Amino acid sequence: MPKGKKNEPFDPHNMKPEDVLKFEIATELGLSDKVVKEGWRSLTAKESGRIGGLITKRKRELKQNDLQKEEEQ
């Protein structure tokens, strides 16, 4: 059996800090039911890529907002 990620069920009530944003975006895209029922590994490459792209965009926006707040002070 190959080593790698197991197809573990996803528990939205027991998330790691890095999974919170990921799950929020999956919810916005309408994928939360699929993730809860079948786990993250059930997503297609396109769905995963979309989530990853939006995570990057959201982090960039948060960083930009933090920099603007520092400049105002």
CA 46 to CA 25: how far, in whole Å?
14
**pLDDT of residue 2 exceeding 70:** no
pLDDT at 1: 44
72 compared with 66, residue with greater pLDDT? 66
What's the length of the chain? 73
Average pLDDT over residues 53-69: 92
CA 11 to CA 36: how far, in whole Å?
7
Cβ pair 43, 34 in contact under 8 A: yes
> Considering the entire predicted model, what is its pTM?
0.77
**pLDDT of residue 3 exceeding 70:** no
Query: Per residue in 8-45, pLDDT tens?
Result: 667 778 888 888 999 999 999 999 999 999 999 999 99
- CA dist 62 to 25, 43, 44, 45, Å? 15, 26, 27, 26
